[in-house]
Amino acid sequence: MGSFGIRDLTREFGVTARTIRHYEEIGLLSPERRGQTRVYSPADFTRLKLILRGKRLGLSLEESRQIIQMYDPAAGNRPQLERLLARLREQRDALLARRRDLDAMLRELEGAEAGCLAALEQQARAARPAASTRKRSLR
Partner DNA sequence: CTTTACGTTGACGTTAACGTAAACTTTGAA
Partner DNA sequence: TTCAAAGTTTACGTTAACGTCAACGTAAAG
Q: Cα dihedral angle (18, 24, 27, 33), rounded to 10 degrees?
A: -170
Least Cβ distance, residue 74 to a copy of itself (angstroms): 11
Residue 48 engages DNA in binding (rule: CB under 7 A): no
Pattern 28-67, a copy of itself, x by CB under 8 A: -------------------------xx-xxxx-------x
Site string for a copy of itself, 108-137 (x = CB under 8 A): xxx-xx-xxx-xx--x--------------
| Three-state SS at 88 | helix
Q: Which of 108, 31, 95 is nearest to 63 (CA)?
A: 95
26 scored as a contact of a copy of itself (CB under 8 A): no
Q: Cβ of 122: how many Cβ atoms within 10 Å? A: 10
Residue type present at position 105: M
Provide the binding-site residues for DNA, judged by CB under 7 A. Answer: 5-8, 15-19, 21-22, 26, 35-38, 55, 60-62
